[in-house]
Structure 1
């Protein structure tokens, strides 16, 4: 089978699709023939990316969404259905982090914001996706988690807690919906060269920057395209027997 044809004709909806891993995934999936919905809190980013993708011959549309608002999430799915009746894959990529600090120095509002965006946002999107996919013969949900959801992550405890929760949702729902022909997997990157990570780097001194970049045996940041290529494989039928798993892309950090 031609790898480039694996997602041909699929309808794939990506939250947080306007930048970073989401944008890289949208580009790869469009190039491989999918219809891609780029959903983002930053509507301008989403529109600009869609313009780039469609100008290159891809099929894409944009939609503004705040994943912490259940009504906006429902409206996002309604918009997706207006473009194509069935959504085959939902990639829950929208997320935030917080500046590294000891747990007692992370204020409660920042903890709750991480939970609301990274965990509750995935919950709302999964509920809508599961109802739709259950009624339409199945589908695939891909949740973007983190290596911080698989191990200790000192100084980013709120972020880590939210990503552990995402992996818990992934595993539990994968078992619940396996017989409904719905696969649910997580992708767990380490530090990737995205605007979010660059924002953290900009606030660190030189020693801190070197420590973050060199946190894995490859001694470099991951590239968004490297994560996107793995996501594209998960979107294809080549991963058809995989569900409830956490796909780790970390330069060897957890080895």
Structure 2
């Protein structure tokens, strides 16, 4: 009998896998038997995560890619398939944010960069994942969205817009490909203790910092391991009847 959360024979590709949620998830799913492709633009950190996995007896490789470039994504999925066969699960985690700023003061270039990485990047990765999954009898696409994609997010409008877009892609693709045994779900964290959030906290005043940390009833930031645990469950066959949904991990913020 397979143990709970068993991921043996799963090929899982994680973008933005060099740090934060992506790195924590790579380490966890590898420990449960998955073959993992860690992808990121940061080669040094990405290779370090792979070294940690392999040192513990896991199977992983690093492939550098820029999700905002469609050719780079095509090459990523081709290399991943060459390494471990067709991708079974793709976790579209790569993303950026922007400094909290009133919308009318946000430079257009910041908006377009958020769209390029957070939305177009997910689009490109979903397409390549689905192409492989159609040929392989199914699979699971997991998009990392945000609570900012489920409700208003004043001062981070550009980021919020992209995450609302990710939710639209998730729901539409889930219905479109359900008959092909391809599931598509989203995970929507709130403020998690990642390098990206830590950078934001370091660049706002104490009042805003405290408000962000205490924005949920638990009055704390989430930890990357808490998100990784949910993602590992989604990667397993235990979530097999779930598609088109958003898993909200927010300490009760939206309750």
TM range (shorter): over 0.9
Question: What's 2:154 paired with?
Answer: 154
Question: What's 1:142 paired with?
Answer: 142
Question: What's 1:217 paired with?
Answer: 217
1:231 offset after TM fit, Å?
0.4
1:112 offset after TM fit, Å?
0.4
> CA-to-partner distance for each residue in 1:146-188, whole Å, 9 max, x for gaps?
0000000000000000000000000000000000000000000
1:233 offset after TM fit, Å?
0.4
RMSD: 0.7
> CA-to-partner distance for each residue in 1:196-225, whole Å, 9 max, x for gaps?
000000001111111110000000000000
* Distance (Å, rounded) in 2 between the aligned partners of 1:4 and 1:245: 20
* Structure 1: gaps (5+ residues): none
Question: What's 1:169 paired with?
Answer: 169
Give 3-state SS (helix, strand or coil) of 1:51's partner: helix
1:4 offset after TM fit, Å?
4.1
* Distance (Å, rounded) in 2 between the aligned partners of 1:246 and 1:203: 30
1:128 offset after TM fit, Å?
0.6
Q: How does 1:45-60 map to 2 (within 5 A)?
A: 45-60=45-60
Question: What's 1:15 paired with?
Answer: 15
1:3 offset after TM fit, Å?
1.3
Question: What's 1:35 paired with?
Answer: 35
* Distance (Å, rounded) in 1 between the aligned partners of 2:128 and 2:73: 8
TM-score by length of 2: 0.98
Number of matched residues? 254
Question: What's 1:64 paired with?
Answer: 64
Give 3-state SS (helix, strand or coil) of 2:73's partner: helix
Question: What's 1:118 paired with?
Answer: 118
Question: What's 1:77 paired with?
Answer: 77
8 A contact 2:11–2:85 mirrored in 1: no
* Distance (Å, rounded) in 2 between the aligned partners of 1:156 and 1:41: 24
> CA-to-partner distance for each residue in 1:227-255, whole Å, 9 max, x for gaps?
00000000011100000000000000000
Question: What's 2:3 paired with?
Answer: 2
* Distance (Å, rounded) in 2 between the aligned partners of 1:116 and 1:3: 37
1:86 offset after TM fit, Å?
1.6
TM-score by length of 1: 0.98
Question: What's 1:107 paired with?
Answer: 107
* Distance (Å, rounded) in 2 between the aligned partners of 1:3 and 1:197: 31
1:9 offset after TM fit, Å?
1.7
* Structure 2: gaps (5+ residues): none
Tell me which stretches of 4 or more aligned residues in structure 1 moved more than 6 Å.
none
Give 3-state SS (helix, strand or coil) of 1:177's partner: helix
Give 3-state SS (helix, strand or coil) of 2:13's partner: strand
* Distance (Å, rounded) in 1 between the aligned partners of 2:65 and 2:159: 21
* Distance (Å, rounded) in 2 between the aligned partners of 1:125 and 1:204: 33
* Distance (Å, rounded) in 2 between the aligned partners of 1:247 and 1:51: 30
Question: What's 1:179 paired with?
Answer: 179
